[in-house]
């Protein structure tokens, strides 16, 4: 095989588990090297994915057309009602706006749009050049808010001001301005908010149903199938449940500080983590034992139904190897457990934006020889997939064709998943998808696997 | 809704993605986005969704510091890193709204990188300014193609018996078809950019960072010695042909993208004339087959109203083809600005559809198109994937054509250009119209033979 190198200066962002080595010394939470073919995105992207599912809000991208065009309805965050979030609104700034400023244009756009669509709130995303030309979007938002009577919230998501994670923070800051502005009347004691769940392929509905079955009231899901009014009264909930470590822990922390609402970190992927996500909440409400009883009953029912169905796959998948490259490292934990549960091993685990603790956790979970990478690129991913002879790659849109070119199976565990992968049913769907892809007859035609070359 | 400021559901995107696509048409080239990481990520994702292929491109990964102090250090170190690890033959740098606004001068920075010894012997850095707040993705494509011509073409004084074809924005399949046609006619051409065998690469069991396609550097350099250039598309191809005339005195003419019967006729006539050859019978037969289908199926096209949207260079010959099929293009929208669009459209439609709605540039978006269609319904919608919302809302037969197509395959493998491309377009249009007729036909008039 041809030798494939690692980008100079990136050696410290790649770690291979060997023996019982000391603490992992992986370099992470840094900006990408200039010139790398990074799979990462920007601050704006982070804000956009977090806020996008709020379906009855207006989402206006303030900047040249591209940022709005590339984020137009690309995420399957489904809504049970309004679908305003699926339209693309842009101030479409031109050269003259860059010279003279775009505040006037923004003001006019907002006025026109709010009159037309009567949204419950508006999010105004700042893009790279807004940060440079100095538009005071806070002032414009404030003015429009006064004129129209709806919350108009600036999102400080200038692309260059950090990584995608900083975009999550900016989104949380905006959401926090909504939280606490609605009435909490009628919200019971056993109530939660679901944070960091974006209702891709209807996943939030599955999770919400579980909690409701346990007798727990879900005040707001943030932001999947999100509604402005729910968010405004979400400070009335007793507990925040945070999934997807990166994106919304900050909001949970802010709500804890301001409203004294504790939070729990959970994952809804895989049997183990899904069950934990229900039990942890039940334990939090331990003064009401019926909740725990209901949780046990639910888990029992779901697992006893699911377990036999998974065995069929286990036979085929036992010993197959997976490579995982995802946005946030927290998801990788769940995926490793889920894959292990059907006999698959993980030979590469990486993320775009993990931190030291995440990677330490990954190291603990992984087997000998597993490669752990931060902010990887196609060359490295190909290298490790080939060297470690992976049968499956789990990633997002930019990773998919690489897997196919290498002649291995692929599963999108990112924006483009088409079926729910969360919850017990999601575990079945996930393993089914993995099974279908890994076991497909098409790979035999790839020259590397013995097809004609 | 009366609008003065905003764009709703755009019928365009920004310049850099066009520059990235064009740069992929040079063999061994790594496109480089001089801006924030997100730009590069979005462009790669969009191109990947359209082509179902890996798309390689690097980024300067701007940070706050770079935005204050300028991106020179980022770009110089990027160039150094890229040549060290990814070993391309060429880095094609394009700017973004961010680097343009802070005033980075790509030419000066590229020169500095070279002076500092960051560009190895025999390797190249080319650059194109592609501010996102000017024009559209089409402009960005044209700017990068122009940069290729300006920065590679050499005039040695030794004229070569070859014709340059400056490809406007086309699919790899179309570029492949143009090469096939030229070969069939017996003309040596230099087609650039050429994304065939780059973005329609075969499965070979490994990920090839630089697929085998793309025009080679020696070929690109030789375009300065060609005896003639044909620029395809006045928006996306002509600027490259003009650049060759300016820098190397290669005379040129501009033709439409060869989409449909007459545009293909004009292109092939121009090519044969420039090369001093005759169109062979094999091509005349291809043409005859297209005309045969147009006449055989004429009754199904007659008078059908069409709404179309996309990029000017595609829409101009497509509209002409639709008119030749006796269809009525009544609503036409392109987000790309430029006066020549409306002029050409009016010339094509003035006799047959004099009151057609035509708009391009600011506020020419999908929202406007939808309003027009609501006011005057159509029988067919033609455009990129974003048309599917309107097609569903208004229950209109829909043919996918243009960029991006995110939900179907075929566009990168089967040409829309040339006579064979015309046949494919006719087949696709007939397919959706006839499916609709079958779907809506009452039992008694549901026909077996059509």
Selecting from A45, A69, A106 the residue whose C-beta is nearest the C-beta of B10 gives A69
Decide: residue A418, CB within 10 A, 0-12 exposed, 13-18 middle, 19+ buried.
exposed
The domain ranges of chain B are 15-140, 160-280, 285-443
Distance (Å) from the alpha carbon of A321 to chain B's nearest alpha carbon = 17
Closest residue in chain A to residue B92, using alpha carbons only:
A35
Q: Where are the alpha helices (DSSP H) in B297-380?
A: 298-301, 312-324, 339-349, 366-375
A450 touches chain B (CB under 8 A): no
A304 touches chain B (CB under 8 A): no
Distance (Å) from the alpha carbon of A177 to chain B's nearest alpha carbon = 25
CATH number, residue A389: 3.40.50.1980
Picking from B31, B61, B392 by the largest number of A CB atoms within 10 A of its own CB, the best residue to mutate is: B61
Per the structure, how many domains does chain A have? 3
Q: Are A346 and A411 in contact (CB under 8 A)?
A: no
Q: Are B11 and B132 in contact (CB under 8 A)?
A: no
Judge if A63 and A143 occupy the same domain: yes
The CATH superfamily assigned to B285-443 is Nitrogenase molybdenum iron protein domain (3.40.50.1980)
- The 10s digit of each residue's pLDDT in A151-188 is 999 999 999 998 888 999 999 999 999 999 999 999 99
Judge if A168 and A205 occupy the same domain: no
pLDDT band (50, 70, 90) for residue B218: very high
Buried b (16+ CB within 10 A) or exposed e, A84-105: bbbbbbbbbbbeebbeebbbeb
What value of ipTM does the predicted structure carry? 0.94
**How many residues comprise chain A?**
453
CB contact under 8 A, B203 and A33: no
Asked whether this chain's domains B160-280 and B285-443 adopt the same fold, the reply is yes
Sign of CA dihedral A359, A362, A366, A372: negative
CB contact under 8 A, A66 and B8: no
Judge if A258 and A236 occupy the same domain: yes
What distance in Å separates the CA atoms of residue A190 and residue A215, rounded to the nearest whole number? 8
DSSP for B56-114 reads --EE----HHHHHH-SHHHHHHHHHHHHHHT--SEEEEEE-HHHHHTT--HHHHHHHHH
Q: What local confidence, expressed as pLDDT, does residue A1 receive?
A: 36
Residues of chain B with Cβ-Cβ distance to A93 below 8 Å are: 133
Closest residue in chain A to residue B47, using alpha carbons only:
A398
Q: Which residue in this structure is represented by tokens 């003279």?
A: A100
Work out the widest C-alpha separation in chain A, in whole angstroms: 69
Judge if A73 and A167 occupy the same domain: yes
B160-280 fold: Rossmann fold (3.40.50)
Closest to A407 measured CA to CA, from A426, A389, A425: A389
Residues of chain A with Cβ-Cβ distance to B5 below 8 Å are: 91, 105-106, 108-109, 112
Judge if A58 and A159 occupy the same domain: yes
What is the span of the domain harbouring residue A67? 43-177
Closest residue in chain B to residue A71, using alpha carbons only:
B42
In a domain, A143, yes or no: yes
Picking from B53, B86, B87, B133 by the largest number of A CB atoms within 10 A of its own CB, the best residue to mutate is: B133
Distance (Å) from the alpha carbon of A42 to chain B's nearest alpha carbon = 4
Judge if A54 and A80 occupy the same domain: yes
Residues of chain A with Cβ-Cβ distance to B48 below 8 Å are: 397-398, 400-401
Sheet arrangement for strand B328-334 = B357-360, B328-334, B305-309, B380-383, B398-400
- The 10s digit of each residue's pLDDT in A397-447 is 888 999 999 999 999 887 778 899 999 999 999 999 999 999 999 998 887
Picking from A64, A87, A110, A416 by the largest number of B CB atoms within 10 A of its own CB, the best residue to mutate is: A64
* Domain's final residue, options A270, A302, A334: A302
Selecting from A41, A109, A379 the residue whose C-beta is nearest the C-beta of B6 gives A109
CB contact under 8 A, B78 and A405: no
CA atoms within 13 Å, Cβ hemisphere of A217: 13
CB contact under 8 A, A108 and B12: no
In order of B1, B197, B375, the CA distances from B371 in angstroms are 9, 40, 6
CB contact under 8 A, B49 and A397: yes
In order of B33, B62, B79, B96, the CA distances from B99 in angstroms are 10, 9, 16, 5
Closest residue in chain A to residue B52, using alpha carbons only:
A401
Q: Which residue in this structure is represented by tokens 């040596």?
A: B188
Q: Are B166 and B237 in contact (CB under 8 A)?
A: yes
What distance in Å separates the CA atoms of residue B238 and residue B168, rounded to the nearest whole number? 8
Q: What local confidence, expressed as pLDDT, does residue A245 receive?
A: 64
Closest to B387 measured CA to CA, from B43, B11, B47: B11
Q: Which chain A residues in 260-279 lie under 8 Å from chain B, judged by CB atoms?
A: none
In a domain, A224, yes or no: yes
- Strands B7-8 and A89-90 come out as antiparallel
Q: What is the DSSP letter of B384?
A: S
- The 10s digit of each residue's pLDDT in B167-200 is 999 999 999 999 999 999 999 999 999 999 999 9
Closest residue in chain B to residue A402, using alpha carbons only:
B54
In order of A242, A250, A265, B40, the CA distances from A280 in angstroms are 12, 20, 9, 41
Q: Which residue in this structure is represented by tokens 């993605």?
A: B17
Q: Which chain A residues in 51-110 lie under 8 Å from chain B, judged by CB atoms?
A: 60, 63-72, 87-95, 97-98, 105-106, 108-109
Q: Which residues contact B281 (CB under 8 A, 6 or more apart)?
A: none
Q: Which chain A residues in 355-384 lie under 8 Å from chain B, judged by CB atoms?
A: 378-379, 382
Judge if A255 and A361 occupy the same domain: no
Residues of chain A with Cβ-Cβ distance to B131 below 8 Å are: 64, 95
Q: What local confidence, expressed as pLDDT, does residue A38 receive?
A: 78
Closest residue in chain A to residue B101, using alpha carbons only:
A129
Judge if A63 and A162 occupy the same domain: yes
Q: Which has the higher per-residue pLDDT, B444 or A374?
A: B444
- Strands A191-197 and A152-155 come out as unpaired
What distance in Å separates the CA atoms of residue B166 and residue B142, rounded to the nearest whole number? 10
Q: What local confidence, expressed as pLDDT, does residue A452 receive?
A: 52
- The 10s digit of each residue's pLDDT in B94-116 is 999 999 999 999 999 999 999 99
Q: Which residues of chain A fall short of a pLDDT of 50?
A: 1-2, 453
Distance (Å) from the alpha carbon of B2 to chain A's nearest alpha carbon = 8
Q: What is the 3-state secondary structure (H, E, C) of chain A?
A: CCCCCCCCCCHHHEEECCCCCCCCCCCCCCCCCCCCCCCCCCHHHHHHHHHCCECCEEEEEECCHHHHHHCCCCCCECCCCCCHHHCCEECCCCHHHHHHCCHHHHHHHHHHHHHHHCCCEEEEEECHHHHHHCCCHHHHHHHHHHHHCCCEEEECCCCCCCCHHHHHHHHHHHHHHHCCCCCCCCCCCCEEEEEEECCECCHHHHHHHHHHHCCCEEEEEEECCECHHHHHCHHHCCEEEEECHHHHHHHHHHHHHHHCCCEEEECCCCHHHHHHHHHHHHHHCCCCHHHHHHHHHHHHHHHHHHHHHHHHHHHHHCCCEEEEEECCHHHHHHHHHHHHHCCCEEEEEEECCCCHHHHHHHHHHCCCCCEEEECCCHHHHHHHHHHCCCCEEEECCCCHHHHHHHCCEEEECCCCCCCCCCHHHHHHHHHHHHHHHHCCHHHHHCHHHCCCC
In a domain, A226, yes or no: yes
Q: What residues does B91 pair with on adjacent strands?
A: B30, B125
A441 touches chain B (CB under 8 A): no
In a domain, A311, yes or no: no
Q: Which residues contact B137 (CB under 8 A, 6 or more apart)?
A: B12, B13, B14, B15, B17, B18, B21, B311, B336, B403
Size of interface A-B (CB pairs under 8 A): 250
Sheet arrangement for strand B252-255 = B189-192, B160-166, B226-232, B252-255
Supply the CATH classification number for the domain B15-140.
Answer: 3.40.50.1980
Selecting from A40, A379, A407 the residue whose C-beta is nearest the C-beta of B205 gives A407
Q: What local confidence, expressed as pLDDT, does residue A453 receive?
A: 44
Selecting from B4, B61, B102 the residue whose C-beta is nearest the C-beta of A32 gives B61
CB contact under 8 A, B335 and A65: yes
Q: What local confidence, expressed as pLDDT, does residue A166 receive?
A: 93
CB contact under 8 A, A36 and B58: yes
Picking from A8, A47, A69, A379 by the largest number of B CB atoms within 10 A of its own CB, the best residue to mutate is: A69
What distance in Å separates the CA atoms of residue B4 and residue A111, rounded to the nearest whole number? 11
Judge if A293 and A338 occupy the same domain: no
Q: Which residues contact B260 (CB under 8 A, 6 or more apart)?
A: B317, B318, B320, B321, B322, B324, B422, B425
In a domain, A448, yes or no: no
Q: What residues does A125 pair with on adjacent strands?
A: A61, A155
CB contact under 8 A, B8 and A87: yes
Sign of CA dihedral A203, A207, A212, A213: positive
Q: Which residue in this structure is represented by tokens 């090469």?
A: B179
Give the SS3 label for residue B444. Answer: helix
- The 10s digit of each residue's pLDDT in B240-278 is 999 999 999 999 999 999 999 999 999 999 999 999 999
């Amino acid at each position: 095989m041809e030798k494939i190198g690692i980008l100079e200066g990136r050696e410290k962002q790649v770690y291979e588990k060997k023996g019982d080595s000391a603490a992992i010394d992986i370099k992470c939470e840094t900006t990408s090297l200039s010139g790398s073919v990074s799979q990462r995105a920007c601050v704006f992207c982070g804000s956009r994915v977090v806020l996008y599912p709020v379906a009855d809000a207006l989402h206006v991208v303030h900047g040249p057309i591209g940022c709005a065009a590339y984020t137009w309805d690309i995420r399957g965050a489904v809504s049970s009602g309004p679908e305003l979030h699926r339209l693309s609104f842009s101030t479409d700034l031109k050269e003259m706006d860059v010279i003279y400023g775009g505040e006037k244009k923004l003001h006019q756009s907002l006025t026109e749009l709010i009159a037309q669509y009567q949204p419950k709130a508006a999010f105004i995303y700042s893009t790279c050049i807004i940060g440079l030309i100095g538009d005071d979007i806070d002032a414009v938002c404030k003015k429009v808010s006064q004129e129209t009577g709806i919350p108009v919230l600036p999102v400080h998501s200038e692309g260059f001001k950090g990584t995608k994670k900083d975009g999550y923070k900016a989104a949380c800051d905006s959401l926090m301005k909504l939280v606490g502005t609605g009435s909490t009347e009628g919200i019971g004691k056993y109530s939660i908010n679901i944070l960091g769940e974006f209702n891709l392929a209807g996943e939030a509905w599955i999770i919400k149903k579980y909690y409701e079955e346990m007798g727990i009231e879900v005040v707001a899901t943030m932001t999947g199938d999100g509604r402005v009014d729910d968010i405004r009264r979400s400070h009335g909930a007793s507990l925040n449940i945070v999934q997807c470590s990166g994106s919304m822990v900050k909001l949970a922390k802010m709500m804890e500080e301001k409203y004294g609402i504790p939070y729990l970190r959970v994952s809804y992927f895989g049997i183990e983590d899904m069950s934990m996500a229900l039990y942890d909440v039940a334990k939090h409400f331990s003064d009401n034992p019926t909740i725990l009883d209901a949780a046990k009953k639910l888990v029992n029912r779901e697992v006893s139904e699911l377990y036999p169905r998974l065995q069929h796959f286990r036979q085929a998948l036992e010993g197959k190897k997976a490579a995982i490259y995802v946005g946030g490292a927290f998801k990788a934990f769940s995926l490793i457990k889920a894959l292990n549960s059907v006999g698959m091993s993980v030979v590469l685990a990486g993320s775009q934006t993990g931190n030291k603790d995440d990677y330490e956790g990954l190291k603990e979970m992984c087997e000998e020889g597993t490669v752990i990478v931060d902010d990887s690129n196609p060359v490295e991913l190909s290298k490790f997939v080939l060297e470690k002879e992976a049968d499956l790659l789990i990633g997002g849109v930019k990773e998919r064709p690489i897997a196919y070119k290498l002649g291995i199976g692929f599963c999108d565990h990112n924006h483009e998943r088409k079926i729910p992968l969360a919850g017990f049913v999601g575990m079945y769907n996930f393993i089914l998808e993995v099974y279908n892809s890994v076991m497909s007859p098409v790979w035999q035609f790839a020259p590397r696997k013995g097809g004609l070359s | 809704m009366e609008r003065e400021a905003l764009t709703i559901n755009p019928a365009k995107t920004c310049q850099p993605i066009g520059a990235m696509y064009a740069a992929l048409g040079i063999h061994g080239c790594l496109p480089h986005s001089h801006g924030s990481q997100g730009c590069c990520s979005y462009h790669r994702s969009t191109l990947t969704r359209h082509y179902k292929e890996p798309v390689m491109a690097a980024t300067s990964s701007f940070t706050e510091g770079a935005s204050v102090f300028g991106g020179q250090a980022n770009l110089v170190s990027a160039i150094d890193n890229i040549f060290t690890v990814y070993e391309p033959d060429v880095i094609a740098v394009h700017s973004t709204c961010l680097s343009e606004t802070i005033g980075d001068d790509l030419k000066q920075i590229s020169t500095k990188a070279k002076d500092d010894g960051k560009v190895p012997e025999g390797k190249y850095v080319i650059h194109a300014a592609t501010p996102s707040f000017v024009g559209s993705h089409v402009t960005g494509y044209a700017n990068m193609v122009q940069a290729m011509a300006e920065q590679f073409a050499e005039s040695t004084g030794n004229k070569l018996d070859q014709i340059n074809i400056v490809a406007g924005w086309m699919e790899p399949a179309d570029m492949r078809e143009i090469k096939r046609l030229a070969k069939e006619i017996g003309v040596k051409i230099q087609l650039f950019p050429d994304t065939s065998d780059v973005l329609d690469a075969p499965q070979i069991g490994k990920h090839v960072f630089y697929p085998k396609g793309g025009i080679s550097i020696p070929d690109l350099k030789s375009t300065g010695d060609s005896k003639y250039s044909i620029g395809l598309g006045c928006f996306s191809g002509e600027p490259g042909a003009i650049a060759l005339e300016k820098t190397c005195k290669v005379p040129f003419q501009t033709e439409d993208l060869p989409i449909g019967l007459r545009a293909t006729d004009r292109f092939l006539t121009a090519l044969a004339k420039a090369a001093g050859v005759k169109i062979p019978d094999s091509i005349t037969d291809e043409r005859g087959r297209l005309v045969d289908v147009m006449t055989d199926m004429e009754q199904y096209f007659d008078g059908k109203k069409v709404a179309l949207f996309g990029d000017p260079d595609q829409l101009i010959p497509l509209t002409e083809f639709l008119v030749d099929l006796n269809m009525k293009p009544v609503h036409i929208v392109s987000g790309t600005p430029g006066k020549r669009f409306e002029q050409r459209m009016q010339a094509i439609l003035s006799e047959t559809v004099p009151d057609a709605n035509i708009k391009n540039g600011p506020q020419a978006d999908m929202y406007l198109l939808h309003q027009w269609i609501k006011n005057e319904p159509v029988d067919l919608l033609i455009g990129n994937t974003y048309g599917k919302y309107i097609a569903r809302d208004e229950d209109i037969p829909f043919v996918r054509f243009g960029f991006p197509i995110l939900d179907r395959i075929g566009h990168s493998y089967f040409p829309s250009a040339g006579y064979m491309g015309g046949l494919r377009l006719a087949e696709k249009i007939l397919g959706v119209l006839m499916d609709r007729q079958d779907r809506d036909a009452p039992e008694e008039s549901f026909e077996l033979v059509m």
